[in-house]
């Protein structure tokens, strides 16, 4: 079982999905450590960081999962995706292909997380690398995609200069709180225990 560090604050699991290189671990690192280029983790296939924060006066423990080394850890997807309270679908505004792949990431998440009501699930879309000069994806196209997918929240972020990173995670929390205020977020029973999974990724699921 995983419990919030502060037993009074609910624990929310948030997962970042998107193509390799769009900046998922940089966003997570920026949000949790407020640093850009010194990654604390990313050496094994799947990892998470915790952060305690307050949103609209409520204390929250956030557990943010990154998906580095996706391919190697393919079979971990089910326990990894399940129990997520929010999915941050991430692309890079300077990489059109990463935007085109958003739909696949969303479908994959819905399937492996076994979402019963995908339309009720809080997806938030992040267009990262806002600081770059050459955009390949316009803000309008991204906003349209979000409208076409049921009115998802959209944030343009830069992990490099910290633009909108905190706002995006806070909005994710607000969406979780709005959609789902149940007390059973305090404990997750289906969190994967990486200590028993490492090195044996074919034995799972």
Chain positions contacting ligand GDP, by CB under 6 A: 20-26, 68, 128-129, 131-132, 158-160
Comparison of 166 and 186: residue with beta carbon closer to ligand GDP = 166
User: Least separation, in Å, of the C-beta of 129 and ligand GDP?
Assistant: 4
Nearer to ligand GDP, 72 or 147 (CB): 72
Whole-number minimum distance, CB 205 to ligand GDP, in Å?
A: 23
Q: Which residues pair with 65 in a beta bridge?
A: 15, 48
- What residues form DSSP beta bridges with 202? none
Shortest distance (Å) from residue 37 CB to ligand GDP: 6
Q: How far is the CB of 6 from ligand GDP (least distance, A)?
A: 28
Smaller CB distance to ligand GDP: residue 91 or 188?
91
Residue 22: CB minimum distance to ligand GDP, A = 4
Please identify, using beta-carbon distances, which residue of 21 and 150 lies nearer to ligand GDP. Answer: 21
93 or 152: CB nearest ligand GDP: 93
The whole-angstrom separation of Cα 14 and Cα 32 is 13
Task: Look at residue 43 and give its three-state secondary structure.
Answer: coil
Give the chain's largest Cα–Cα span: 46
Smallest CA-to-CA distance from 80 within 117, 55, 44, 34 is with: 44
- Report the residue number whose CB is nearest to ligand GDP: 23
CA distances from 126 to 17, 102, 150, 178, 202 (A): 10, 10, 16, 20, 31
For residue 107, what is the enclosing H or E element? helix 102-112
Q: How far is the CB of 126 from ligand GDP (least distance, A)?
A: 10
Give per-residue burial for 106-145: e unless 16+ CB within 10 Å, then b: beebbebbebeeeeebbbbbbbbbbeeeebebeeeebeeb
Nearer to ligand GDP, 135 or 149 (CB): 135
């Amino acid at each position: 079982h995983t419990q919030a560090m502060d037993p009074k604050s609910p624990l929310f699991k948030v997962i970042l999905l998107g193509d390799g290189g769009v900046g998922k671990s940089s966003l997570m690192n920026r949000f949790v450590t407020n640093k850009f280029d010194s990654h604390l983790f990313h050496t094994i296939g799947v990892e998470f960081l915790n952060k305690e924060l307050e949103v609209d006066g409520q204390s929250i423990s956030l557990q943010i999962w990154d998906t580095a080394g996706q391919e190697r850890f393919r079979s971990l997807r089910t326990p990894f995706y399940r129990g997520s309270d929010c999915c941050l679908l991430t692309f890079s505004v300077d990489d059109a292909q990463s935007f085109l792949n958003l739909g696949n990431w969303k479908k994959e998440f819905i399937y492996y997380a076994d979402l019963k009501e995908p339309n009720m699930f809080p997806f938030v879309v992040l267009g990262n690398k806002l600081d770059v000069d050459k955009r390949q994806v316009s803000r309008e196209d991204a906003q349209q995609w979000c409208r076409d997918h049921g009115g998802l929240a959209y944030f343009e972020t830069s992990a490099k200069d910290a633009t909108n990173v905190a706002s995006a995670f806070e909005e994710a929390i607000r969406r979780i709180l709005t959609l789902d205020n149940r007390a059973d977020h305090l404990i997750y029973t289906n969190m994967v225990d990486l200590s028993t999974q490492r090195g044996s990724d074919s034995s799972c699921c």
